[in-house]
Amino acid sequence: MDRTLEFGGKQIEPDVRRLSDMREVIYDIDWLKSAPDEILYYMYRDLAMSRQDRSIILDHGLRYDITVIPPGRLGSEYVKTAGHYHPEIGNTGMTYPEVYEVLHGTAHYLLQRCDEGRIVDVVLIEAHEGDKVIIPPNYGHVTINPSNKELKMANWVSRNFSSIYEPYKKCGGAAYFELAGGKMVRNGRCDHQPDLRYLKPSNIGKVGFAKGREMYGLVRDIEKLGYLNSPGEYQWLWDEVLSDKNRVNAPIL
């Protein structure tokens, strides 16, 4: 199947993530023994609609990507991304945040915060087409496709860093695994697995999100993405995103 993406009048070839890139984070190790090394997802990085847009995006130290995760299973688990943390910004005590938008399908964003090697918060956010989900500073994240439809999602993120995969690999995955059918299983290899908090997506008007408006359009109002490179100035946003006021019930299986 041709996986070229047309964006800004150009044909973009994806980077791919294969099963062999993420063997260490798979739940179903029996399945893994004989599983073929298939491509699990497609990443179209550093996109811009025009040269003018590209120059605005570069000037603000940002990147816009699209990721496509076809539906599938990793044995008994739903297909997911490898999982990573972002590095700390200088000595601020804060790592780079990120923001996602679901363009098509359904996503489960599984966030976790680690303090001195111990997981202290785990959050699951279910997002549908048009929903925006902010990954706050100091949270690692995995994206799960829990449906039988293709998941297409976009992200804005700082272009000033590389992701850190080791903590997820070391623990054999995130603090929880989502099995086909939706059951969440604790990962006993993680030091402490707090109960999951189910939160709503971060559809926050103050940072320029609007229902029915794709967040690529923020290229025309790019100061609204200032929190991605200067998270220290946005404590109100982190409080709002992580607040227990956004709690929803766990999905009924």
Ligand X SMILES: O=P(O)(O)OC[C@H]1O[C@H](O)[C@H](O)[C@@H](O)[C@@H]1O
State the residues that interact with ligand X by CB under 6 A.
Answer: 17, 43, 45, 65, 67, 81-84, 98, 155, 157, 163
42-58 exposure pattern, b = at least 16 Cβ within 10 A, e = fewer: bebeebbbeeebbeebe
- Determine which helix (DSSP H) or strand (DSSP E) holds 51, and give its type and residue range: helix 51-59
With CA atoms as reference, report the closest residue to 68 among 114, 135, 1. Answer: 1
**Which of 83, 146 has the CB closer to ligand X?**
83
CB of 90 closer than 8 Å to CB of 161: no
- Report in angstroms how near the CB of residue 249 gets to ligand X at its nearest: 27
- Give SS3 for 244: helix
Q: What is the Cα–Cα distance from 6 to 69, expressed in whole angstroms?
A: 17
Helices (H), 123-221: 166-170
CB of 99 to ligand X, least distance (A): 10
Q: How far is the CB of 244 from ligand X (least distance, A)?
A: 26
Q: What is the nearest approach in angstroms of ligand X to the Cβ of residue 9?
A: 21
Least CB distance to ligand X at residue 153 (A) = 8
Cα–Cα distance for residue pair 193/175, rounded to 1 Å: 6
Closest separation between CB of residue 225 and ligand X, Å? 14
CB of 94 or CB of 154, closer to ligand X: 154
Closest alpha carbon to 145 in 171, 119, 165, 127: 127
Nearer to ligand X, 53 or 250 (CB): 53
Cβ nearer to ligand X, comparing 23 with 250: 23
Q: Specify the residue, 147 or 250, whose C-beta has the smaller distance to ligand X.
A: 147
Cβ proximity to ligand X: between 84 and 212 the closer is: 84
